[in-house]
Amino acid sequence: MHSMSVVIGGQWGDEGKGKIVDCLVPEVDVVIRYQGGANAGHTVKVGEKKFVLHLLPTGILHEKVRCLLGGGMVVDTWALLEELDELKANGVDADSRVYLASSAHLVLPFHRRIDELREKSLQRKNIGTTGRGIGPTYEDKMSRMGLRVGDLLLPDENLRRLVIEKVLRANQYLAARFDAPAMAAEAIGSEIVEHAQRLRPMIVDSFDFLAPVRAGAWRALLEGAQGTLLDIDHGSYPFVTSSNCTVGGALTGTGLPPQLIDRVTLVLKAYCTRVGNGPFPTELHGEEAEALRQAGHEFGATTGRPRRPGWFDAVAARYAAEINGATEIALTKLDVLTGLEQVKVCTAYTLDDKTIDSFPADAAQLERCKPVYTELPGWSVDFSAIKDYRELPENARAYVATLEKLIGCRVRYVSTGPQREQFIDRDQAASVQNRSLGTA
């Protein structure tokens, strides 16, 4: 039994973190998102129902689990209330199990507007953000000008005035930088007060709230958003998000001590995708790309944008495993590769006529990297209902073994489809088959 697990995306996001967290949640008492905001889109399929979570930790789909939006997050209260209402409409009463760290920052409508206008002004050099105001909110946090979730506890009139002050300051910037019209300060101030009235009971001091985790009474799962290669420090800057998606972010974004971490599950998709701009050495184009996009339904869970597909990049995956200290891998979407005659894996890059096997986080260097591939034979047998790893087609197992060797880390979990039950735990095949899968 683990006291603290961290689940981290090992590629450019959308690896299937939501699905893996959902499968691991029955083992824990609290799930904590530690960074990012409503830029995330974590999908879980339960029977005919599909849940896409943007701000709430995926644990919310399990009845007894508490969920904390950690201090490292940026919280858009408009998006949060919409998400809570949507869950309620689908029979999940989340309000009583959601906790908001008072130190998390608030995304305000002008952050979204600045994000959008800045992207437009960059034209073809834009990052391709999700437009959720993530960068501008983290900027305000770092420049110590931000509003925090804890500010929602102020008396209504003080809160309203504080928000109006922030909007008026942002209006000056919008006018000077983009010649953009002013935003309605009074209206935004009043809306935030309304949001505060509903959200106040959920706000906690996360240090106090997490005391049972430190005392060993609660098992915690820390849910990463985005992926290692989108990390502000360790990704291909500037084509990254504005937070630390990697294991360091799990510590700063929760305030929990490193010694408690006894499991780091790196989620890797059996091929790669990227949404937004930036270098992507194994990217496919044309018909091959379209076939993989269609087979894997690779369209953004947040923005609906088509994702850019490519072959599995073992150089990048090894980098992600090492940066995060991965103790195990959860491999998703292996089923999507079924039916291909051959499957390629990138084992090294050529960069300026040299062969390298380390991942350059510098975007300009990564842009010049050309993949060196090894080709493996494909498989054609549908295994999406199989629960025992040994029953996978031999070539699929050989593919997994090749990845393990190249990455230097064991694949413990294999996800064989979007549904909850389509999940193999190589260590506990039998007990997984029989366990109760929570509610929702």
Return d(Cα 235, Cα 415) in angstroms, integer: 25
Q: Which residues in the 332-351 window bind ligand GDP by CB under 6 A?
A: 332-333, 335-336
Residue 115 as a binder of ligand GDP (CB under 6 A): the answer is no
From residue 116 to residue 145, the character string flagging contacts with ligand IMO as x (rule: CB under 6 A) and all else as - is: -----------xxxx-x-xx----------
Q: Which is the catalytic residue, given 14, 22, 76, 115?
A: 14
Nearer residue to ligand IMO within complex by CB, 203 or 366? 366
105 is a catalytic site residue: no
Residue 309 as a binder of ligand IMO (CB under 6 A): the answer is no
Nearer residue to ligand GDP within complex by CB, 297 or 370? 297
Q: How far is CA 315 from CA 47, 234, 288, 322, 421, in A?
A: 36, 14, 22, 11, 31
42 is a catalytic site residue: yes
Question: CA angle, 388 as apex, 267 and 313 as ends, to 5°?
Answer: 30
Residue 22 as a binder of Mg ion (CB under 5 A): the answer is no
Residue 9 as a binder of ligand IMO (CB under 6 A): the answer is yes
How many helices (H) does the chain have, and how many strands (E)? 14, 20
Residue 16 as a binder of ligand GDP (CB under 6 A): the answer is yes
DSSP 257-304: -GGG--EEEEEEESSEEE-SSS--TTB--HHHHHHHHHHTT-B-TTT-
From residue 154 to residue 173, the character string flagging contacts with ligand IMO as x (rule: CB under 6 A) and all else as - is: --------------------
Return d(Cα 368, Cα 248) in angstroms, integer: 29
Q: Which is the catalytic residue, given 22, 42, 62, 195?
A: 42
Q: How many chain residues interact with ligand IMO (CB under 6 A)?
A: 23
Cβ-based neighbour number of residue 93 at 10 Å: 11
What does 130 bind: ligand GDP, Mg ion, ligand IMO, none (CB cut-off 5 to 8 Å by kind)?
A: ligand IMO
Q: How far is CA 378 from CA 65, 154, 248, 339, 438, in A?
A: 40, 60, 37, 7, 35
DSSP strand pairing (308-310 vs 312-313): unpaired
Nearer residue to ligand IMO within complex by CB, 127 or 376? 127
- C-beta of 267: minimal distance to ligand GDP in Å? 6
Nearer residue to ligand IMO within complex by CB, 252 or 395? 252
DSSP H or E run through 328:
strand 328-332
From residue 178 to residue 217, the character string flagging contacts with ligand IMO as x (rule: CB under 6 A) and all else as - is: ----------------------------------------
Residue 15 as a binder of Mg ion (CB under 5 A): the answer is no
- C-beta of 175: minimal distance to ligand IMO in Å? 23
Nearer residue to Mg ion within complex by CB, 103 or 273? 273
The tokens of 329 are what?
């891998």
The residue written with tokens 């930036």 in the block is 278
229: Cα separation from own chain's centroid: 11
Q: Report whether 415 contacts 426 (CB < 8 A).
A: no
Amino acid (1-letter code) at residue 306: P
Residue 146 as a binder of Mg ion (CB under 5 A): the answer is no
Which of 4, 5, 10, 13 is close enough to bind ligand IMO by CB under 6 A?
Answer: 13
Cβ-based neighbour number of residue 30 at 10 Å: 23
48: Cα separation from own chain's centroid: 23
- C-beta of 106: minimal distance to ligand IMO in Å? 16
Q: List contacts with ligand IMO (CB under 6 A).
A: 9, 13-14, 39-42, 127-130, 132, 134-135, 225-227, 230, 241-242, 275-276, 301
Q: Which residues are catalytic?
A: 14, 42
Q: List contacts with ligand GDP (CB under 6 A).
A: 9, 13-19, 41-43, 45, 297, 301, 332-333, 335-336, 415-418
